[in-house]
Amino acid sequence: MMVMSKTREISGCGLAGVISRKKILIPGEVIIRSISHIKERGNGLGSGYAGYGIYPQFPDEYAFHIMYDHEFAKRETEEFIKKRFHVIHYEEIPTRKTSRITESPLLWRYFLRPIEPPDTPNYNEEDYVMKAVMDINSHIDGAYVFSSGKNMGAFKGVGEPDDIGEFYRIEEYQAYLWTAHTRFPTNTPGWWGGAHPFTLLDWAVVHNGEISSYGTNRRYLEMFGYKCTLRTDTEVVAYLIDLLVRRHRLPLRIAAYALASPFWKDIDRMPEKQKKLFTAIRMVYGAALLNGPFAILVSWNGGLMGLNDRIKLRPLVVATKDDRVYMASEESSIREVCPDPDRVWAPKAGDPVIALFEDFERGDQFREYQV
C-alpha cells in the first residue's frame, strides 16, 4: 500500500462524531467542518470518515470498500469475492482530484450478500463475512478491505481532513451518524490503510492516543481468528469490540469496562457486589485491557460510544442538542457546528458515554444507556 513520508510534528490526533438519535439525516458538510476545525491536531498523514445510513438503496447488503495497489490485486480479490458472495452491485468509489491529493490507491466498493456454504453446521453470517475480510487483508497482496458493514461506509486516506473530505466528496452524502478523525501517526507509518477509522462489519473506531498493550491484545485476538495486518495499534480496538460484544455477547458497558478496567486498588475499595463484577472482568478479560493513553469513539448501526482511558490522558468532550449527541476531542469542534448546545461535559476516566438510536432494539448488550 502507498506509504507517505513527511516530517512529523509534535501534535495529537483529533476525533469528532455526531449522531441523530431520531435518525434525521445529517449532511456530510457538518462532520467535515467539525473535524477540520481541529485539523492542527494532525499533520496530514491520515484522516477519515465513517457514515451510517449512507446506502439506503442497499440496506441489507454488506458494503465492502476496498483499496488496491494494482489491477492484479483487484482481479484476484474479485475472483475471491465471486466465490463467496452474490455481487449485487459494484463500482469505483466516487472521488475527485484535489490540489493536495493527486495520487491514491484504486478505490472500489461492492455490495454483497454471502453465499451460505452447504452443510455447514452452526453457520454464522457475520463470522463468515469477518473471515472473508481477514482472508483478503492477510492473503491478497496489495488489497485491503477498509469497510465491510451494512448501510455504512468508511472513507480514509493520507491527507488533511478537509482534503480527504473533498477527495471522497463527503459533502454529497447524508448520514444519521458520522465519525471523523485527523491523524498524527505516533509510531506507525502514514499510509492509506493506516488512517482512521478502523472497521469490521458495522463497527468503526477512531482513536486519539497510543495503545501500548498492542502486542498482548493482538496475541489474544489471534486466538479467535482475527488477523492484525494494518501496522497500527488502533486496529485491535475495533476487533476487541467485535469479539466482546458481538461474539461473547457482553453488554456494551461491560465491554467498555474490560477495555478500560479500574485499577486493582480502586476495585478493592468498591462495594462487594461491584468488587466481584470488576474482579471477574479483569480476571477473564485481562488480555483485552487497553494500556496507554486513549480517547476512542466506537460507532455501529445501533449508536455511538465515547470512552477514555482509566486515567483520562486524552481529552474527550460530549454535548447534546435536541436529538443530537456530539463527541469530540475539543469543545470548539462541537461549537463549530452546534454553537448553542443544551449541555456540555467531559466524561470521567474509563466511564463510557453511550448514545443509542431511539428505534434501536435494546438487547442485553445495550441495556444501559447514559446520554
Q: Assign residue 206 the CATH number of its domain.
A: 3.60.20.10
Among 165, 198, 231, give the residue marking a domain's end: 198
* pLDDT at residue 10, as a whole number: 44
* pLDDT at residue 191, as a whole number: 79
Q: Which residues contact 41 (CB under 8 A, 6 or more apart)?
A: 11, 12, 13, 14, 182, 184, 208, 329, 330
- Tens of pLDDT, residue by residue over 346-371, are 999 999 999 999 987 665 555 554 55
Question: Which three cell numbers, joined as nine digits, stand for 229?
Answer: 495486518
Band of pLDDT at residue 11, cut at 50, 70 and 90: very low
Q: Do residues 174 and 218 both lie within one domain?
A: no
Q: Strand (E) positions, 201-308?
A: 203-209, 294-300, 303-308
Q: Do residues 82 and 129 both lie within one domain?
A: yes
User: What residues make up the domain containing 189?
Assistant: 51-198
Band of pLDDT at residue 99, cut at 50, 70 and 90: confident
Question: Which three cell numbers, joined as nine digits, stand for 182?
Answer: 485527523
Q: Do residues 190 and 223 both lie within one domain?
A: no
Report how far residue 122's alpha carbon sits from residue 363's, in angstroms, rounded to the nearest whole number.
21
DSSP-derived pairing of the beta strands 62-68 and 143-147: antiparallel
Q: Do residues 148 and 241 both lie within one domain?
A: no
Do the Cβ atoms of 254 and 248 come closer than 8 Å?
no
Q: Which of 165, 242, 240, 235 is nearest to 196 (CA)?
A: 235
Give the position of cell 432494539: 361
Q: Do residues 223 and 366 both lie within one domain?
A: yes
Q: Do residues 258 and 111 both lie within one domain?
A: no
If you average pLDDT over residues 16-26, what whole number do you get?
97
Band of pLDDT at residue 257, cut at 50, 70 and 90: very high
Q: Which residues contact 318 (CB under 8 A, 6 or more apart)?
A: 306, 325, 326, 327, 344, 345, 346, 347, 353, 371
Q: Do residues 80 and 216 both lie within one domain?
A: no
pLDDT at 187 over 80: no
* pLDDT at residue 3, as a whole number: 44
Cβ neighbours around 108 below 10 Å, total: 18
**Alpha carbon distances (Å) from 261 to 161, 274, 299, 365:** 32, 12, 20, 18
Report how far residue 302's alpha carbon sits from residue 357's, in angstroms, rounded to the nearest whole number.
6
* pLDDT at residue 222, as a whole number: 94
Q: Do residues 268 and 181 both lie within one domain?
A: no
* pLDDT at residue 6, as a whole number: 47
* pLDDT at residue 369, as a whole number: 47
* pLDDT at residue 175, as a whole number: 98
**Alpha carbon distances (Å) from 178 to 81, 102, 187, 318:** 28, 26, 27, 14
Report how far residue 321's alpha carbon sits from residue 301's, in angstroms, rounded to the nearest whole number.
21
Q: How many domains does the chain have?
A: 2
pLDDT at 208 over 60: yes
Q: What is the helix, strand, coil percentage profile of the chain, to 5?
A: 30, 30, 40
Do the Cβ atoms of 129 and 62 come closer than 8 Å?
yes
- Dihedral (CA of 326, 329, 331, 332) sign: negative
Report how far residue 67's alpha carbon sits from residue 51's, in angstroms, rounded to the nearest whole number.
18
Between residues 100 and 231, the one the model is more confident about: 100
Judged on CB neighbours under 10 Å (0-12, 13-18, 19+), 154 is buried
- Whether the bond between 197 and the residue before it is cis, its omega within 30 degrees of 0, is yes
List the end-to-end C-alpha distance of the chain, in Å, as a whole number. 40
The CATH number assigned to the domain holding 67 equals: 3.30.70.60
Query: Quick one: how far is CA 191 from the chain centroid?
Result: 17
Q: What is the pTM of this model?
A: 0.91
Which active-site residues does the annotation give?
Answer: 13
If you average pLDDT over residues 176-199, what whole number do you get?
83
If you average pLDDT over residues 52-60, what whole number do you get?
97
Report how far residue 235's alpha carbon sits from residue 250's, in angstroms, rounded to the nearest whole number.
20
Q: Do residues 315 and 349 both lie within one domain?
A: yes
Q: Do residues 240 and 117 both lie within one domain?
A: no
